[in-house]
């Protein structure tokens, strides 16, 4: 089963914020987590994650910093902000409402 | 992770592949060096993980790149998210690469401060004479400021380049000597003034021509004292055009600023005009020349140059104007009415055509084959020559009756200097279009003419007053 592109895009904000709410992370690790959580069903083209991260950063929902990774390379870490947590709570209510509504029809 | 950094040949080829991939990525303006670094980190991690699963370097690289997505799609996504980046940002955020973004580029900042310092120095210098009671309006002491205006701006621009290039010590000394000699000369010249204090013709001619002659001194500093370098003189021509445009833009902004300050202070009953006249205009004018210089240098690679764009718009329009003029003269049989300003008007026409030719030549790829624009240029030069010959014909017969005043000799000389330039350009252009002459010959001709123009300006500024008895 592959998930419709629009749905992937629509869920990206909630998903990224939720993963960053667990702990600070960087691009590759976020994608790995998405794959784990969805059992590989929610497939993003890897590169598309970054414009999403940059958009969230620009709206102040997350913030970034460069740190040295254990490999010696510079790595960009992202952290959720307070505004991001509020947004996440809001997203969560919305998705739960959608989920509940669909669930009532299909159960 | 670390195994991607080892020195065996297989990983070397991986490094090369990543290098090429990054270079390709960086071609898009929407992806900054930081973004590329972030994506590269991702790519490397992916490759490492795939290799750990047993893939070879090549396979791992291919799969990792594929997962990241086609570069075109990626850059499109970035461009949509960062549309602001497609508008190159000027001066304060030039994309100076990833390393520079992390530690501010020291050399770049230093240049900015030196330029600011020189601008302030120029602004201070122009006010120093007023400590000795010399003002801008009402000049009792032989029009001090008009005499010396060149020396409040040009040496500071030259100083910037002398520092930045840098110009060797001998070059600095000779440049300083030239400026000093010119300053001594124009201040020692006993120019005649009418009883009302109005300056004579030679005075005005010297004021107009001295900056042009000294501009070659700025050029000397610009090329770091080495005129012979590959294309340095052409760069200086480009620089001059861009500087002019920047200066005009700054002046326009300054005009708005001053109109606003007059207006709002007027509203509370305070007259600003004296301060503006005595402080803001002179200090701003000389300071802005240094700032404009630095801006032209700082943004060199950031934005397409404006001068060639303007020439492309106006060259065809001026060609059309000249054709219409010739056709009208031929069909109506009207002759040029020789008045006092006619010679100067046609001088200006030649200057405009010269500028259009110069800047389109400076921006042209000299290897490209002749095209439509070259035909337009040739038409422009040809028609300008015809019109100017008609004008000279009309004036020539009468110029002897008028007698040789300094103004008339200067205007006639200028006309001939430019006429020779355009004549030479027309011949070379025609040869180029027929495929007989390389375009670089045309550029060489224009570069050589820099000296001719400067020499002529020096003659008018320095020799004319002596010949015509400072009248």
The C-alpha of B98 sits at a distance from chain A's nearest C-alpha, in angstroms, of 11
Confidence of residue B5 (pLDDT cuts 50, 70, 90): very low
Chain B residues near residue A69 by CB distance under 8 angstroms: 1, 41
Residue B100 reports pLDDT greater than 60 = no
Measure the CA–CA gap between A91 and A14, rounded to whole angstroms.
Answer: 6
Q: How far is CA B421 from CA B265, B403, B417, B424, in A?
A: 51, 26, 6, 5
* B81 closest CB neighbour out of A46, A51, A75: A51
DSSP string, B219-257: HHHHTTT-TTSTTHHHHHHHHHHHHHHHHHHHHHHHHHH
Given the DSSP bridges, would you call strands A62-68 and A74-80 parallel, antiparallel or unpaired? antiparallel
B53-73 pLDDT, tens digit each:
988 888 899 888 888 888 788
Model pLDDT, residue B255: 93
B301-348 pLDDT, tens digit each:
555 677 888 888 999 999 999 999 999 988 998 877 777 677 788 888
Check if A75 contacts B (Cβ < 8 Å): yes
Greatest alpha-carbon pair distance for chain A in Å reads 53
Task: Say how many domains are in chain A.
Answer: 1
Q: What percent of chain A clears pLDDT 90, i.e. is strictly above it? A: 46
Q: What percent of chain B clears pLDDT 90, i.e. is strictly above it? A: 34
Reported ipTM: the value is 0.86
Print the domain residue range for A77: 5-106
B135-174 pLDDT, tens digit each:
766 555 567 888 888 899 999 999 999 998 888 999 999 9
Residue B104 reports pLDDT greater than 70 = no
CATH of the domain at A17: 1.10.10.10
* Contact of B424 with B445, CB cutoff 8 Å: yes
Residue A69 and residue B41: Cβ atoms within 8 Å? yes
The set of long-range contacts for A67-70, using a CB threshold of 8 Å and a minimum separation of 24, is A69/B1, A69/B41, A70/B1
Check if A48 contacts B (Cβ < 8 Å): yes
Model pLDDT, residue B309: 82
* B45 closest CB neighbour out of A28, A47, A51: A28
Residue A48 and residue B74: Cβ atoms within 8 Å? yes
Q: Does domain B304-471 have CATH number 1.20.120?
A: yes
The residue extents of the domains of chain B are: 2-87, 105-303, 304-471
């Amino acid at each position: 089963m592959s998930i419709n592109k629009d749905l992937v895009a629509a869920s990206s904000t909630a998903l990224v914020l939720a993963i960053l709410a667990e702990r600070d992370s960087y691009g590759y690790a976020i994608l790995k987590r998405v794959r784990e959580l969805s059992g590989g069903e929610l497939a993003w083209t890897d590169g598309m994650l970054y414009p999403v991260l940059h958009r969230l950063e620009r709206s102040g929902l997350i913030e970034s910093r460069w740190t040295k990774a254990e490999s010696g390379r510079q790595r960009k870490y992202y952290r959720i902000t307070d505004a991001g947590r509020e947004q996440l709570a809001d997203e969560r209510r919305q998705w739960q409402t959608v989920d509940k509504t669909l669930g009532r029809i299909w159960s | 992770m670390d195994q991607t950094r080892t020195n065996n040949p297989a990983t070397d080829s991986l490094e090369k592949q990543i290098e090429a991939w990054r270079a390709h990525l960086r071609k898009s303006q929407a992806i900054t060096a930081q973004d590329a670094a972030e994506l590269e980190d991702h790519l490397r991690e992916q490759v490492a993980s795939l290799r750990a699963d047993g893939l070879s370097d090549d396979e791992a690289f291919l799969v990792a790149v594929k997962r990241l997505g086609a570069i075109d799609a990626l850059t499109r996504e970035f461009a949509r998210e960062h549309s602001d980046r497609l508008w190159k940002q000027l001066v304060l955020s030039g994309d100076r690469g990833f390393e520079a973004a992390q530690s501010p580029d020291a050399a770049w900042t230093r240049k900015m401060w030196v330029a600011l310092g020189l601008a302030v120095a120029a602004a201070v210098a122009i006010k120093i004479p007023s400590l000795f009671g010399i003002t801008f309006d009402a000049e009792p002491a032989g029009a001090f400021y008009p005499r010396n205006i060149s020396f409040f701006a040009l040496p500071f621009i030259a100083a910037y380049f002398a520092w930045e290039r840098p110009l060797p010590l001998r070059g600095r000394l000779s440049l300083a000597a030239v400026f000093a000699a010119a300053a001594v000369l124009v201040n020692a010249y006993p120019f005649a003034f009418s009883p009302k204090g109005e300056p004579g013709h030679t005075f005005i001619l010297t004021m107009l021509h001295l900056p042009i002659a000294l501009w070659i001194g700025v050029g000397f500093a610009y090329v770091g004292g080495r005129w012979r370098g590959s294309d340095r003189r052409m760069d200086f021509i480009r620089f001059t055009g861009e500087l002019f445009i920047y200066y005009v833009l700054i002046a326009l902004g300054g005009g708005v600023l001053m109109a606003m300050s007059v207006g709002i202070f007027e509203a509370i009953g305070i007259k600003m005009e004296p301060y503006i006249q005595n402080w803001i205009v002179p200090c701003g004018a000389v300071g802005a020349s240094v700032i404009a210089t630095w801006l032209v240098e700082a943004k060199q690679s950031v934005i397409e140059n404006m001068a060639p764009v303007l020439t492309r718009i106006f060259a065809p329009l001026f060609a059309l104007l000249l054709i219409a003029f010739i056709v009208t003269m031929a069909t109506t049989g009207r002759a040029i009415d020789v008045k006092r300003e006619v010679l100067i008007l046609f001088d200006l026409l030649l200057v405009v055509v010269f500028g259009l030719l110069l800047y389109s030549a400076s921006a042209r790829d000299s290897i490209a084959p002749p095209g439509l624009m070259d035909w337009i240029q040739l038409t422009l030069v040809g028609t300008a020559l015809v019109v100017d010959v008609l004008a000279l014909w009309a004036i020539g017969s009468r110029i002897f009756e008028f007698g040789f005043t300094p103004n008339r000799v200067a205007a006639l000389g200028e006309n001939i200097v430019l006429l020779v330039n355009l004549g030479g350009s027309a011949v070379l252009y025609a040869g180029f279009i027929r495929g007989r002459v390389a375009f670089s010959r045309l550029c060489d001709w224009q570069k050589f003419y820099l000296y001719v123009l400067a020499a002529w300006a020096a003659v008018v500024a320095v020799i004319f007053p002596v010949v015509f008895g400072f009248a």
